[in-house]
Structure 1
Amino acid sequence: MKLYFRPFACSLAARIALEEAELDAEFVQVPGDGRLSDGRHFSQLSPMGYVPAIETRGGFVLTEGPAVLTYIAELAPEGSLSFTGFSDAHYRMLGWLNFVSTELHKAVFTPLLGKTAGPEERAAALARVTKPFGVLAAHLAGKDFLEDKFTVADAYLLAVLNWCEASGVAIADWPVLLDYRTRLRARPSVVRAMNEEWPLLKAA
């Protein structure tokens, strides 16, 4: 299995999940021009050009972050990254994956971190952070994780919260979220994943 990634992009969540579950994978960094070392262009695997993408030995390719994370969770030893199917907690976890994807990743951070957004679009994206951050802060007050244990939804939320400083989002205004991020950054799987990608980010 190969995980295609860019350093500290949302694909960091998939690396964290693989580390947490102790699953074997080959990590393939996608260069800026998308040209892979095997001669293919990354768009042949991910038509939108987004990471993460998972490619199995059998040639099955899966894209879109929430789908990739759910796939990893289902490969992991039972219960290590998610909950049993048809449980309330399982579907709440899926809800959090989609919440992070739509309300934060796409609506807030994509415009702030992209190179094409103008001042008005950036201001609108910054304004949009208030409601979802408020929802998360209220939910996480007194909790260690989004649900009763660490799941792929927490890995995704952490990867996104890592972008706050670079995007101008003042996470310190939400102490609950800052504390949550600080705690997760100390988790062994997260430490390993971030230590692998930090030098790659600095070199990019």
Structure 2
Amino acid sequence: MKLYYSPGACSLSPHIVLRELGHDFELEKVDIRAKVTESGGDFRAITPKGYVPALQLANGEVLTEGVAIVQHLADAAGARHLAPEPGTLARTRLVEHLNFLSAEVHKSFGPLFHASSEEAKEAARTKVASRLDLLEQVFADGRDFLMGEGFSVADAYLFTIVSWAQPTGIDLAKWPRVAAFAERVAQRPAVQAAMAAEGLGKAA
């Protein structure tokens, strides 16, 4: 398998999952703006979407969209600790978390990286804050991870998104439970290895 990634981008989520599962895989960095891979290839020939993550399977097929990739990886490995059995209520809860993270939290951060006006960025900060408020409530019952006591693919995604707080000027001190979650996940060996491989240094 080969994971096409951009350092610190949402591709960090499947990267963490690959390492949690102990897979052998290749990494290839992508210049998202230029749409060129580290080896000089046209990334749009890998996926016309032109953004990461993209996972090339052993049979040559390419999967895109992080929430699809991480579920495929967990299911293919039979890793029910990372993704519950399809068709169960627990799996539906996992999908619920993944969809919220993708549609609401991830997308809310976008303008903080790309908006041209301070007004647009301030509006984005307000929206991000409201989404972090909801996540703070999820952890209010004392759970360590989104699904309860066990780490899942949704936690890899949430950790990735939360890692964008510092570079976008969002102080997680306002959300102590979310901050504590990030600190817990940062200590996982797979997370440390993924961060190091992407040249991101030691996880916070």
* TM-score of the pair, normalised by structure 2: 0.90
| Aligned position for 1:11 | 11
The CA distance in 2 between the partners of 1:78 and 1:35, in whole Å, is 33
Residue 68 of structure 1, CA deviation: 1.3
| Aligned position for 1:152 | 153
Larger RCO (CA under 8 A, 6+ residues apart): 1
181-190 vs 30-39, which moves further: 30-39
Deviations 1:109-155 (A, max 9, x none): 111012x4322211110110222111111111211100031111000
* TM-score of the pair, normalised by structure 1: 0.90
Does 2:164 correspond to 1:163? yes
28-37 vs 190-199, which moves further: 28-37
Residue 70 of structure 1, CA deviation: 1.4
Change (3 A) 1:85 1:199: closer
- Contact 1:21 1:80 (C-alpha < 8 Å) held by counterparts: no
Percent identity, please: 37
Aligned residues: 198
- Contact 2:8 2:200 (C-alpha < 8 Å) held by counterparts: no
Q: Which runs of 5+ in 2 are unaligned?
A: none
The CA distance in 2 between the partners of 1:131 and 1:85, in whole Å, is 30
| Aligned position for 1:128 | 127
Residue 48 of structure 1, CA deviation: 2.6
- Contact 1:82 1:93 (C-alpha < 8 Å) held by counterparts: yes
Alignment RMSD (CA, Å) = 1.6
- Contact 2:30 2:38 (C-alpha < 8 Å) held by counterparts: no
- 1:125-204 matched pairs, under 5 angstroms: 125-141=124-140, 142-148=142-148, 149-198=150-199
